[in-house]
Chains A and B, each alone.
Chain A
Amino acid sequence: MLRYLATRLLRALLTIAMVVTFAFVVLRLSGDPALLIMSVDAPPEAVEAFRTAWGLDESLWVQYVKYFNAILHGDLGRSMRDGRDAIQLVAERIPATLALTLPALAIKIGIGVPAGIYAALHRNSLTDRVVMTLAVMGFTVPSFVLGLLLVLVFAVQLGWLPSGGDGTWRHAVLPVVTLGVGGAAVLARFTRSAMLEVLGQPYIRTASAKGVPWHAVVRGHALPNAAIPTVTIVGFMVGSLIAGAVVVESVFSWPGVGRLLVVAVANRDLAVVQCILLLVAITMVSSNFVVDLLYGALDPRLRQSRAGGAG
């Protein structure tokens, strides 16, 4: 088990390092921040001075080594726009993003999982078809379309809720619903198919054949097995708590990490973009790690193969 954990941890660190490297290379190759941040008609000496100040005049390789070394020492750089620590800029935005993504996650799980279970248990019934039709609509409609639709209905037509901005909980309602609906739809479909797969297994028939009442068969025998694949999807959703709201934050002008990312990319504010990507990589990788540990808790077959030392 220890060996398994160590391998997993090493792989996680490797993934993060790769994301960091990739982001570094792509950002450096996709435009010169000096030209964007300085005005177009800035004198060449000023642009050159900017490059020197930010170390952009050095070779890519030297920049990379310096950057990586800084990260290892906990220094994520400063914003080229206002000179503040990138980590601080990003950290300020995290609560706003979580204020959207956490309630949205609750909606996804709270609606998606029960809807999927219900649909599976009433397969081919009218309810099943209605739930699945809604689910298909829910995840085929892109979030910006859904967001605009909600704005049109609830802000413009009915005037019940603000169309964007922040400040009160009322501002959060539409973006949270927009985020939640798509995820709930994905989760409903996934839970339904996981449940149907499990309900068709011989051990479900065995449980019925030994006289277990149906509700207990579902709770005690089907759900613990269907939870194994469902946890994967929930894990992805947890992993995207930080960066999963880029589009929705932009549609609703919500001052979260997502909007900071859009602005920082547009401005080639390298340190800020890299800081956000690093944060995203860390959340994704840690949530995957937790999912992996959960698998072990849920599935005795996996637990044993890990105890044996195999990855």
Chain B
Amino acid sequence: MSLVTIRDLAVSFDGVPALRGVDLNIPPGGALGMVGESGCGKSVTWLAALGLLPGRARVTGSVRLAGDEILAAPPATLDRVRGGRVAMIFQDPASSLNPVHRLGTQVVEALRLHRGITGGAARAEAKRLFDLVGIPDAARRLDAYPHELSGGQNQRVMIAMALAGQPELLVADEPTTALDVTIQAQILDLLNRLRREMGMALVLISHDLGVVAETCDEVAVMYAGRIVEQAAAASLFARPTHPYTQGLLAALPPIDGPRKPLAAIPGGVPEPWAMPPGCAFAPRCPHASAACQARIPAHVAVGDAHSAACILAVREMVPA
């Protein structure tokens, strides 16, 4: 059984749709990467699933955690899920930690809420978590404030705090975007190691295909509020099927061969209030035809656990 099952999740802000029907399955211990440009809905998917969007957001669909519906669940239920079963870390670690509370206090708060540990035991456990995520001089760092640590160290604190509730799923929303490249690699290694050691599932949200390729078993590519292609990581990178995915991969610089200009995808993402009829990518797509505007293309299985939402995609496009 899936750990998390999302069906037809849609979100609109003041009537403007931001997420237009997303289906996802996260198996226990699995690692899913979600890629796409900013505004494509990859973060909104998880903020909506956990009830973290502001009140003006309208959320419809279904999000099941181990079979139980959590979308629009009562606050008390959600508070036990958030941080306890599904934890989330964010893009900018420095501003994601409360500036007026000590780091240890912020981790201990999660320990108290989800594991009922308080006092000296909580402090000892917080120190163990700091050690686990590789914060040097952990005991002293417990008493530090966020502004006293670097971005990378703060992200480690965020991860330690996320682990405090022993979650079954960690959603990492662009966890390395605000960090420099060497720190990025360290944080990704850490997430990988923790996932293996703790048997925790991971959703890695990123606009960086490279980051996702290194870390995830499976990848979902999002465009304009929908998943346009989903596959095992190896399959997706070997045989990208949706023209948008092909465009993304073509835009990556090759590591060898002669230098050549990067192939950018022409045009821009359509504004959410002015979506074209049919396929949202059609206006930028090199293979677009009149048929693309007729209706929104359904997902077609193009191979073993590989599907794409394109009318040109056909079964067995990707040999097993």
Contacts and interface: CB of A to CB of B under 8 A. Distances in A.
Does B bind A?
yes
Counting chain B residues whose Cβ lies within 8 A of the other chain, the interface size class is 20 to 34
Interface in A200-255: 201-203, 205-214, 220-221, 224-225, 228
Given A211-B81, A214-B75, A300-B100, A203 B109 contact: no
A96 interface: no
B97 A203 contact: yes
Interface of B: 47, 50, 52, 75-76, 79-84, 87-88, 90, 92, 95-101, 109-110, 113-114, 145, 147-148, 158, 161-162, 164-165
Given A202-B92, A202-B95, A205-B52, A210 B100 contact: no
B147 A300 contact: yes
27 contacts: A201-B95, A202-B96, A203-B98, A203-B99, A208-B52, A208-B82, A209-B90, A210-B110, A210-B161, A210-B164, A210-B165, A211-B79, A211-B81, A211-B84, A211-B113, A212-B79, A212-B83, A212-B113, A213-B75, A213-B79, A214-B75, A220-B101, A220-B109, A221-B98, A225-B99, A299-B99, A300-B147
A224 B109 contact: no
User: Which are the 8 A-B pairs with shortest beta-carbon distances?
Assistant: A211-B83, A210-B83, A211-B82, A203-B98, A300-B145, A209-B88, A202-B96, A202-B95
Given A205-B47, A206-B96, A210-B161, 7 more contacts: A202-B92, A207-B98, A210-B109, A211-B83, A213-B79, A298-B100, A301-B99
B148 A304 contact: yes
A149 to B, nearest CB: 38
Nearest to A299: B100
A298 to B, nearest CB: 7
Contacts of A214: 75
Interface in A41-74: none
Interface of A: 201-203, 205-214, 220-221, 224-225, 228, 298-301, 304
Contacts of B80: 211
Contacts of B81: 211
B258 to A, nearest CB: 43
A208 B84 CA distance: 12
B132 to A, nearest CB: 17
Nearest to B95: A202
A202 B93 CA distance: 9
Given A211-B79, A304-B148, A206 B99 contact: no
A202 B174 CA distance: 14
A214 B82 CA distance: 12
A228 B99 CA distance: 12
A205 B76 contact: no
B166 to A, nearest CB: 12
Contact of A304 (B75, B113, B147): B147
A219 B79 CA distance: 16
Contacts of B148: 304
Contact of B98 (A211, A225, A304): A225
